[in-house]
């Protein structure tokens, strides 16, 4: 029996880019000590006060079908949070609650792309992006970025591919680079979307992890609210990755169609998870600051360690849980560097090549282990690079 091309072609014929991660996992299962700096998940778990709210809600009977768009309390809370942070008038009708940011990314593309439409995204990219676009039958088109622009898309690169495309997907703060897009970049993105009549899908799941200044949402730029779908999530901001809860914020007429899509796909998010999310958001920014703080601290530790050497380059690390290191001075590709580092030092980092072509010659370091182990691993990584640069 034949399967659909849509499902068999989801990864575009390539691997999923996670070969190194699987290799590290196999080593760990075989009992070898490996320092894992691969995955974007906190080293803390969901705060017990959030779990208590989840438990209370479930025990109060919220275990039946929940309202498909999301319950009134959560939609209102998410809308109020967005309005307070962006100044853009936002109400519950602008919000669809989804089972995580990934489901939101899929639904957003389904809402704006027809089969065969060109959907733009920036390279390097979060691993699921091209597959998500293919999953709705659209054609993924990468906008290349360059290390010398801190991997931010330029006006020229955007303009060269915008004509005739349907949507543009961006992500700031960025996974995998840790870069926060500048106002200039966001203006270029907004101009491109308006000029070429593109939908903007703005993945803001790291919006609470910005180390200088505040997050700027492109939905707040002139003329953008009517053409922007913002992807939000509780995964990163509140260490709730396993609870699978996020949202889409956009124009009410788009949200209405997305509710119909949700009725035919996810049928909503469990009510007790929604209540826990509403409770967590009602706690305000202090809880978010506590969840993000370890990454800021480790970013500072890393900057201090890297300032004492001149072999590896650090891509300006403005937010999220990652550092992107330029390993080209060693003469190795990101893949060769990550592989050798795993073999010889038992430290697992992701090759830049796993996230597209633009980050070749780089490695992504997830700052998701305790400070001392992190600082020690990074120092060993630097020594490894220096030794190999000397040998090269």
Q: Please give the structure tokens belonging to residue 195.
A: 């000029």
Give the strand pairing for 199-203 and 228-233: parallel
With binding defined as CB under 6 A, does residue 353 bind ligand PLP?
no
With binding defined as CB under 6 A, does residue 100 bind ligand PLP?
yes
Among 246, 292, 319, 351, which residue interacts with ligand PLP (rule: CB under 6 A)? 246
Instruction: Give dist(CA 191, CA 316) in Å, integer.
Output: 25
Q: Which is nearer to ligand PLP, 203 or 288 (CB)?
A: 203
With binding defined as CB under 6 A, does residue 101 bind ligand PLP?
yes
With binding defined as CB under 6 A, does residue 288 bind ligand PLP?
no
Give the strand pairing for 167-171 and 139-144: unpaired
From the list 371, 249, 348, 373, the residue with the least C-alpha distance to 298 is 371
Integer-rounded Cα Rg, in Å, for the chain is: 21
Count of beta carbons in the 10 Å neighbourhood of residue 338: 30
Half-sphere exposure of 344 (CA within 13 A, CB side): 13
CB environment 257-292: b (16+ within 10 A), e (fewer):
ebbebbeebbebbbbbbbbbbbbbbeeeeebbeebb
With binding defined as CB under 6 A, does residue 126 bind ligand PLP?
yes
CB 216 within 8 A of CB 234: no
Region near ligand PLP per CB under 6 A, out of 1-9, 99-107, 179-187, 349-357: 99-107
Distance of CA 179 to the CA centre of its chain: 11
Write out the DSSP string of 244-278: --EEEE--HHHHHHHHHHHHHTT----HHHHHHHH
With binding defined as CB under 6 A, does residue 102 bind ligand PLP?
yes
Region near ligand PLP per CB under 6 A, out of 98-106, 146-154, 252-260, 331-339: 98-106
Q: Tell the smallest beta-carbon distance from residue 237 to ligand PLP (Å).
A: 10
With binding defined as CB under 6 A, does residue 175 bind ligand PLP?
yes
Q: Tell the smallest beta-carbon distance from residue 269 to ligand PLP (Å).
A: 12
Which residue lies nearest ligand PLP, judged by its C-beta?
101
Q: Please give the structure tokens belonging to residue 311.
A: 């072999």
Total residues binding ligand PLP (CB under 6 A): 13
Among 94, 233, 237, 330, which residue interacts with ligand PLP (rule: CB under 6 A)? 233
Residues in the chain: 392
With binding defined as CB under 6 A, does residue 235 bind ligand PLP?
yes
Give the footprint of ligand PLP on residues 289-308 (CB under 6 A): none
Region near ligand PLP per CB under 6 A, out of 80-88, 97-105, 154-162, 381-389: 97-105
From the list 150, 149, 148, 145, the residue with the least C-alpha distance to 122 is 145
With binding defined as CB under 6 A, does residue 177 bind ligand PLP?
no
Region near ligand PLP per CB under 6 A, out of 94-102, 140-148, 216-224, 374-382: 94-102
Q: Which is nearer to ligand PLP, 247 or 384 (CB)?
A: 247
Give the footprint of ligand PLP on residues 191-230 (CB under 6 A): 203, 205
With binding defined as CB under 6 A, does residue 94 bind ligand PLP?
no
With binding defined as CB under 6 A, does residue 241 bind ligand PLP?
yes
Residues that bind ligand PLP (CB under 6 A): 40, 100-102, 126, 171, 175, 203, 205, 233, 235, 241, 246
């Amino acid at each position: 029996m034949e399967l659909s091309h849509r499902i068999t072609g989801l990864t575009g014929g390539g691997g999923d880019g996670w070969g190194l991660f699987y290799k590290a996992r196999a080593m760990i299962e075989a009992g070898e000590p490996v320092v894992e700096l691969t995955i974007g998940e906190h080293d803390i778990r969901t705060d017990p006060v959030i779990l208590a709210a989840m438990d209370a809600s479930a025990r109060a009977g919220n275990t039946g079908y929940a309202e498909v768009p999301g319950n009134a309390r959560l939609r209102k809370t998410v809308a109020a949070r967005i309005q307070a942070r962006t100044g853009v008038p936002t109400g519950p009708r602008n919000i669809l609650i989804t089972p995580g940011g990934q489901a939101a990314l899929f639904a957003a593309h389904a809402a704006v792309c027809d089969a065969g439409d060109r959907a733009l995204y920036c390279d390097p990219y979060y691993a699921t992006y091209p597959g998500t676009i293919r999953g709705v039958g659209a054609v993924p088109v990468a906008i290349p970025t360059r290390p010398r622009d801190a991997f931010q898309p330029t006006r020229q690169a955007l303009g060269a591919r915008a004509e005739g495309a349907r949507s543009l997907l961006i992500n700031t703060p960025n996974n995998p680079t840790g870069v926060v897009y500048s106002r200039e970049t966001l203006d270029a993105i907004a101009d491109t979307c308006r000029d070429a009549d593109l939908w903007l899908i703005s993945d803001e799941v790291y919006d609470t992890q910005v180390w200088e200044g505040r997050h700027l949402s492109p939905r707040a730029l002139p003329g953008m609210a009517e053409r922007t779908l913002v992807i939000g999530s509780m995964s990163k901001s509140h260490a709730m990755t396993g609870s699978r809860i996020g949202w889409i914020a956009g124009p009410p007429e788009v949200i209405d169609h997305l509710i119909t899509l949700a009725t035919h796909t996810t049928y909503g998010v469990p009510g007790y998870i929604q209540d826990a999310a509403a409770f967590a958001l009602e706690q305000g920014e202090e809880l978010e600051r506590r969840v993000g703080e370890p990454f800021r601290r480790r970013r500072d530790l890393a900057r201090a360690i890297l300032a004492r050497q001149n072999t590896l380059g650090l891509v300006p690390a403005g937010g999220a849980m990652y550092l992107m290191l330029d390993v080209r001075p060693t003469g190795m590709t990101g893949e060769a560097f990550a592989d050798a580092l795993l073999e010889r030092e038992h430290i697992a980092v992701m090759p830049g090549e796993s996230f597209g072509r633009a980050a070749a010659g780089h490695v992504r370091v997830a700052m998701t282990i305790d400070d001392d182990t992190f600082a020690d691993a990074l120092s060993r990584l630097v020594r490894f690079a220096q030794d190999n640069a000397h040998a090269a």
